[in-house]
Amino acid sequence: MTRVKGAAHQDLAHDSAVKHVSGAAEYTDDIPEPVGTLHAYLGLSDVAHGRIAAMDLTAVRAAPGVVGVLTAEDIPGANDISPTGSGDDPVFPEKTVEFHGQPLFAVVATSRDAARRAAAQARIEIEPLPHALDPLAAIEAGYPEVTAPLTLQRGAVEDGMAAAPHRIRGRMVIGGQDHMYLEGHIAFAHPGEDEDVVVYSSSQHPSEAQHMVAHVLGVPSHSVVVNVRRMGGGFGGKETQMNLFAAVAAMAAKKWNRPVKIRPDRDQDMVATGKRHDFVADYAVGYDDNGRIQAVDGIFAARCGFSADLSGPVTDRALFHADNAYFYPHVRLTSRPMKTNTVSNTAFRGFGGPQGVIVAERMIEEIAYALGRDPLEIRKANFYRDGGDVTPYHQVVEDNILERIVGELENSADYQARRKAVIAANAKGDIIRRGIALTPVKFGISFTATWYNQAGALVHVYNDGSIMLNHGGTEMGQGLNIKVAQVVADAFQVDIDRIKITRTTTEKVPNTSATAASSGTDLNGMAALDACEQIKSRLVEFACETRGVEPGQVEFLPGRLRIGDEEIGFDALIKQAYMARVHLSAAGFYKTPKIHWDREEGKGRPFYYFAYGAACAEVAVDTLTGEYRVERVDILHDVGKSLNPVIDRGQVEGGFIQGMGWLTTEELWWDEAGRLRTHAPSTYKIPLASDRPRVFNVALADWSQNAERTIKRSKAVGEPPFMLGISVFEALSMAVASVADYRECPRLDAPATPERVLMAIERLKGTA
Amino acid sequence: MSQIHVTATINGDETEFLCDPTETLLDVLRDHLDLTGSKEGCGSGDCGACSIILDGRLVCSCLVLAAEAEGRSVETIEGMAEGDKLHPLQEKFIEHAALQCGICTPGILVAAKNLLERNPNPSEEEVRYWLAGNLCRCTGYDKIIRAVMDTAAEMRGAA
């Protein structure tokens, strides 16, 4: 054997692919239900804000099949599941309802259908209070911020702005986004002896679910086990939002000593769980005749919902990415994480970053239209210069490869010629207008909560030579498990087939971080490698002792080891080592080096490195209806030295399409009463197969290597490509701008639904 | 509520089951017959994760009452492979990495199989629009469309 199957940097199918295509992959809802399993369902508030005057659940309790109900009074421990310990996130509120759709109680019955029907029987009297649904209304009503705001500043923004030859002020409204994971929330709790409970759940953060369940039950964390084999998509929506379901299932399982499953239907899932934050950004940008930015002043107000949840770090990250790829000599960025009477918004791929990036791109667009230049020229004029320029959070950008990425994409997509052709076509004045845009992304990698940047792994080598791999990350389709297994195959130089990937469980690796912030492979890959290296060093020591050689004479070759002049198969050596009482199991650990962050000062190095990418999109817009289609997209994205190119490409393609959806068809719409009216795929429109760009060329920058010592010099890939979807938004903007001869920035708000596009066209025609 | 006795052919096997009059075919497949490959993504016929073939027609099993299956033929993802031999579509989906979290995959495969039975030589546009009833939140669809086109070409070559 010359090369092991499944080592690092090879294309390899998802480890569950055969099970996926045969319908045999087991998701939480597919786990066989023991006889006696009960089902829970939530009863929700139908008022956006009010005092609970009376909760009459008599009819609920009397409904067929009902075993009982759970309310705030039934919570044995703390009635709080705030992930940041802010104490504002009750399982069930006791006095005040804070959003339309807030869970108020759970009913437990012999079947899901019975529980669901019973939940509708509740008679709840709520005395309404005034409500504020969006950040501007909240500011006007004097609502508090859900968490302390952040300001990033560098230089002297007033002086810089005053000295700039040109200044533009504007406002951009940026919509939120529902995760629309195809598998909704679910938790399935099995009671055990003493205070024990085991919860099977579709959670991106099993350790937090464990701690929350323990907290709510009033028991130590050691009594709670959370297991996650796989999720049917997560995208951030299952980072904190699963905790309520896990807590309810666990409470019911302990109370009735029966297995209890809870799975909301899609509508309840969308109404009752948090989403991407909507933002209203007010920006001012000063620039010179060449389009070089001199100063930026921005205020980012977010719809956080009724509680803090992760809104602090989300709104922080919006500021961290409000520069995108551009150097601002003088800058001040401020967040306003506003409390609103809506569902508590949460993590979603990019974690506030996309909302920051799109404002940077809006400012570029403003400058370009004001100067009558190609936005790409303005982008290039403002790129961070490698090794010198400093971000608004005082981190030096040291690994910038955007010039090369953008240059290569500009050529491969034939941007210049196509832009000319688009302008020429639009000049004919037809009904169909075209637009083309090339936008970059620079995305900081690491949790900004520095302590989250740690991971554990557990590796066993059994005495038959088979290997069990476990780590703290969770699999939601991103291919984390296969990539970490490739690291292990590479370390031991064995075929990947002999490595068993096992479900994530709080029993094997404790105190893990959420599988989030694109960090899964970076952190868990390194932790697994550490475990492998420990076992390998024991094997080397054993080989040296038994053969009388030096460590330098022991080498792991594909499927075997060379020890001095001897070659021995991996299995045979493992057997010998076991017989000689060598410890063949190891717990690995990793913490990201170099990073630090002082939030009070707004200074530090929150990111270990940056990932880069660029996309070029061309669209066609019907100026009579506002409808549009994406004709062609070219992408060049940086994943460092990819651990698994085919898996990484999948992340790039999927991220792009999801980002495009955020900015085009996906519209969250609340009515005046605070009801979410787009609460199922019938009314909330994610991209379809028919929306895929007519031509879609996606490439990885195969020459890139991470400048930092990450796992095999790869880079994180989960979130960065999401922001490539901004190219579509900008291309739409150009098509719209054509109706006024590109003299005015159309200032599209997001999402640019056909309705918004049409309104922008009408507005610009009016001024043309 | 009295239960209804239903006899249907499921993946080629004559199958009997009892169901409530209000139960959907999806619930019976998943909860009574342990055929959990069909998934509930929305329960309202908008996502396609529960796609099955009923008497040759592609339907969302969440919109079919179980009692309606009486005397009819039902094909689910579990019947797609012949024993260990995967259907060409299944093989191509693996080869093209046309899946990520995998939860929409069974529905998409069932829909694609139905398309190729009707039209062995679809254009890419026909594939994209045929699959527009099946949501996928992970892949961005490109690999799925390529896998279906590639399968169609290969099956035409083999036929």
> What is the identity of the amino acid at A300?
F
Q: What is the pLDDT of residues B101-112, one digit of tens each?
A: 999 999 999 999
Using a CB-CB distance cutoff of 8 angstroms, which residues of chain B are in contact with residue A186?
none
What is the predicted ipTM? 0.98
Domain A278-448+599-767 listed as CATH 3.90.1860.10: no
Asked if B135's CB is within 8 angstroms of A18's CB, the reply is no
Q: State the nearest Cα–Cα gap between A517 and chain B, in angstroms.
A: 16
Nearest to A686 among B30, B129, B135 (CB): B135
Q: Which CATH code fits A17-24+454-591? A: 3.30.365.10
Q: What is the pLDDT of residues A24-52, one digit of tens each?
A: 999 999 999 999 999 999 999 999 999 99
Using a CB-CB distance cutoff of 8 angstroms, which residues of chain A are in contact with residue B101?
181-183, 230-233, 476-477
pLDDT of residue A461: 98
Q: Determine the Cα–Cα distance for residues A515 and A488; give it in Å rounded to an integer.
A: 19
Answer yes or no: is pLDDT of A361 > 60: yes
Indicate the length of chain B as a whole number: 159
Asked if A29's CB is within 8 angstroms of B134's CB, the reply is no
**Minimum Cα–Cα distance from A19: chain B residue:** B102
Q: Which of A307, A311, A281, A314 is nearest to A296 (CA)?
A: A281
Compute the average pLDDT of residues A172-178.
98
Asked if A30's CB is within 8 angstroms of B36's CB, the reply is yes
Using a CB-CB distance cutoff of 8 angstroms, which residues of chain B are in contact with residue A11?
97
Using a CB-CB distance cutoff of 8 angstroms, which residues of chain B are in contact with residue A692?
128, 140-142, 145
Using a CB-CB distance cutoff of 8 angstroms, which residues of chain A are in contact with residue B52?
none
Give domain limits for chain A.
17-24+454-591, 31-129+185-263, 278-448+599-767
Using a CB-CB distance cutoff of 8 angstroms, which residues of chain A are in contact with residue B151?
none
Using a CB-CB distance cutoff of 8 angstroms, which residues of chain A are in contact with residue B38?
23
DSSP secondary structure of A265-331: -HHHHHHHS--BPPEEEEEEEEE-TT--EEEEEEEEEEEEESS-TTHHHHHHHHHHTTTTTB--SEE
Nearest to B97 among A14, A26, A698 (CB): A14
Q: Is A719 a catalytic residue?
A: yes
Q: State the nearest Cα–Cα gap between A265 and chain B, in angstroms.
A: 7
Asked if B78's CB is within 8 angstroms of A477's CB, the reply is no
pLDDT of residue B158: 82
Task: Compute the mean pLDDT over every residue in chain A, rounded to the nearest whole number.
Answer: 97
Q: What is the pLDDT of residues A272-331, one digit of tens each?
A: 999 999 999 999 999 999 999 999 999 999 999 999 999 999 999 999 999 999 999 999
Coil vs helix vs strand at A356 = helix
Q: What is the pLDDT of residues A182-194, one digit of tens each?
A: 999 999 999 999 9
Q: Determine the Cα–Cα distance for residues A32 and B30; give it in Å rounded to an integer.
A: 10
**Which candidate in A719, A744, A755, A762 is catalytic?**
A719
Compute the average pLDDT of residues A133-159.
98
Nearest to A681 among B36, B46, B129 (CB): B46
Q: What is the pLDDT of residues A655-671, one digit of tens each?
A: 999 999 999 999 999 99
Count helices and strands in chain B by DSSP H and E runs = 5, 5
**Minimum Cα–Cα distance from A29: chain B residue:** B36
Pair A197, A190: CB distance under 8 Å: yes
Q: Determine the Cα–Cα distance for residues B116 and B132; give it in Å rounded to an integer.
A: 15
Q: State the nearest Cα–Cα gap between A79 and chain B, in angstroms.
A: 30
Q: Identify whether A76 is preceded by a cis peptide bond (ω within 30 of 0).
A: no
Query: Hey, do A17-24+454-591 and A278-448+599-767 end up sharing a CATH topology, with the first three levels equal?
Result: yes
Nearest to A20 among B36, B105, B128 (CB): B105
pLDDT of residue A768: 57
Nearest to B94 among A17, A26, A30 (CB): A17
Asked if B102's CB is within 8 angstroms of A230's CB, the reply is yes
Coil vs helix vs strand at A609 = strand
Coil vs helix vs strand at A628 = strand
pLDDT of residue A3: 85
CA-angle at A264, arms to A260 and A266, nearest 5°: 155
- Where does A493-644 have alpha helices with state H? 520-547, 570-579
Using a CB-CB distance cutoff of 8 angstroms, which residues of chain B are in contact with residue A10?
none
Q: Which residues pair with A307 in a beta bridge?
A: none
Asked if B129's CB is within 8 angstroms of A687's CB, the reply is no
**Minimum Cα–Cα distance from A179: chain B residue:** B137
Using a CB-CB distance cutoff of 8 angstroms, which residues of chain B are in contact with residue A696?
142
Asked if A32's CB is within 8 angstroms of B138's CB, the reply is no
Which pLDDT tens digits describe chain B residue by residue (159 residues)?
699 999 999 999 999 999 999 999 999 999 999 999 999 999 999 999 999 999 999 999 999 999 999 999 999 999 999 999 999 999 999 999 999 999 999 999 999 999 999 999 999 999 999 999 999 999 999 999 999 999 999 999 987
Orientation of helix A402-412 relative to helix A415-427, angle to 10° = 60
- H-helix or E-strand containing A158? helix A157-163
**Minimum Cα–Cα distance from A646: chain B residue:** B97
Share of residues in chain A with pLDDT > 70 (%): 99
Q: State the nearest Cα–Cα gap between A457 and chain B, in angstroms.
A: 22
Share of residues in chain A with pLDDT > 90 (%): 99
Coil vs helix vs strand at A171 = strand
Using a CB-CB distance cutoff of 8 angstroms, which residues of chain A are in contact with residue B90?
21-22
pLDDT of residue A165: 98
Structure tokens at B143: 């690999």
Confidence category of residue A388, pLDDT binned at 50, 70, 90: confident
Q: What is the pLDDT of residues A99-133, one digit of tens each?
A: 999 999 999 999 999 999 999 999 999 999 999 99
Asked if B136's CB is within 8 angstroms of A681's CB, the reply is no
- Report all structural domains of chain B as residue ranges with CATH numbers, in order of start: 4-78 (3.10.20.30), 88-158 (1.10.150.120)
Compute the average pLDDT of residues A69-92.
97
Q: State the nearest Cα–Cα gap between B41 and chain A, in angstroms.
A: 5
Q: State the nearest Cα–Cα gap between B97 and chain A, in angstroms.
A: 6
Asked if B138's CB is within 8 angstroms of A650's CB, the reply is yes
Asked if B132's CB is within 8 angstroms of A690's CB, the reply is yes
Disruptive mutation site among A31, A182, A695 for chain B (greatest number of B CBs within 10 Å): A182
Helix (H), strand (E), coil (C) string for B19-85: ECCCCEHHHHHHHHCCCCCCCCCCCCCCCCCCEEEECCEEEEHHHCEHHHHCCCEEECHHHCCECCE
Asked if A690's CB is within 8 angstroms of B99's CB, the reply is no
Asked if A29's CB is within 8 angstroms of B40's CB, the reply is yes
Disruptive mutation site among B130, B138, B145 for chain A (greatest number of A CBs within 10 Å): B138
Q: How many CB contacts within 8 angstroms connect chain A with chain B?
A: 175
Nearest to B44 among A650, A658, A680 (CB): A680
Q: What is the pLDDT of residues A496-531, one digit of tens each?
A: 999 999 999 999 999 999 999 999 999 999 999 999
Q: Determine the Cα–Cα distance for residues A762 and A497; give it in Å rounded to an integer.
A: 60
Pair A765, A739: CB distance under 8 Å: yes
Asked if A690's CB is within 8 angstroms of B128's CB, the reply is yes
Please identify, in words, the CATH class of the domain defined by A31-129+185-263.
alpha beta
Asked if B137's CB is within 8 angstroms of A233's CB, the reply is yes
Asked if B139's CB is within 8 angstroms of A653's CB, the reply is yes
